[in-house]
Amino acid sequence: MESLLARVVPLAFGAAISPTLFALEVLVLSGRRHPVSRAWAVAGGASAVLAVYALLGLTLLDHLDTKHGHSPAGAAIDLGAAVLLALLAFRALHRRPTAAEGHRQRTMSRIAEAPTLSFVGIGGVAMLLNFSTIVLFFPALHEISRSPVDRMEKAAAVLVLVVITLLPVLIPVLLAAGLGSRADPVLARLNRFVGGHSRQITAGIEIFFCILLIWKGIGELRLCRRAAREWTLAGEAPGKRR
């Protein structure tokens, strides 16, 4: 279990670094009407989408030959995620607004008068458009899916992954619920910093994990090739003895 968490937790924290989700949650908490209730609704919508991703991802990965060892499919997942992260980093450094930023701008214009229940949908759509989070979330699921640990330990690892990934929406609302108005200066400072450096933060994380996943994927391919050679030699040995 410790070995599994050592592989999953770094990816989970990478997925959790989401300036857009954090800024959205702080924006909701700065409103005048039911800010904490609305913020919990945003967190609930984001959690629901992430739970669906986890269920679909584990179901799909369960049908791939990535369990209990190294496989080309596992390398393809890592290298595919690395390519997507490279594209997302390029987009983050580009001046055009991203899909998530566009959603946030549209949300800001409608957020004041929206009913509290609609914030569940706002949180869900924000998570759907948060591609950098999802791209790192699936390699972490892959690590869980192929791990030889039992189902209870896999469930615990998925829970850790989901909770860490949701930190951008959980931390602001927990601070607001626990500290009340005393949390406002802290959230305001964090929001100014994150808002002023959101593209650099996002691109930096995406480039870092792109390099990490490329290294990991290439290592996986090398291990697959070595295993294939060993199996070939083992199959040829009885014939040679004859």
Chunk the chain into consecutive blocks of 10 residues (it has 242) and report each block's average pLDDT, rounded to whole numbers: 87 87 84 83 94 88 59 78 85 64 55 76 89 88 86 91 94 84 75 70 82 84 71 56 44
The pLDDT of residue 169: 92
Q: Is 63 strand, coil or helix?
A: coil
The pLDDT of residue 238: 47
The pLDDT of residue 51: 93
d(CA 217, CA 2): 22
d(CA 112, CA 175): 21
Q: Is the dihedral of CA 242, 223, 66, 156 positive or negative?
A: positive
Which pair of structure tokens corresponds to residue 229? 């050679």
Residue 162's H or E segment, with its range, is: helix 151-165
| Residues in Cβ contact with 176 at an 8 Å cutoff, skipping those fewer than 6 apart | 29, 35, 36, 39, 183, 187
Looking at residue 186, its amino acid is V
Confidence (pTM): 0.76
Q: Is the dihedral of CA 73, 167, 6, 156 positive or negative?
A: negative
Report which DSSP code applies to 96.
S
The pLDDT of residue 241: 44
| Measured torsion, CA atoms of residues 106, 111, 113, 114, in degrees rounded to the nearest 10 | 90
The pLDDT of residue 240: 47
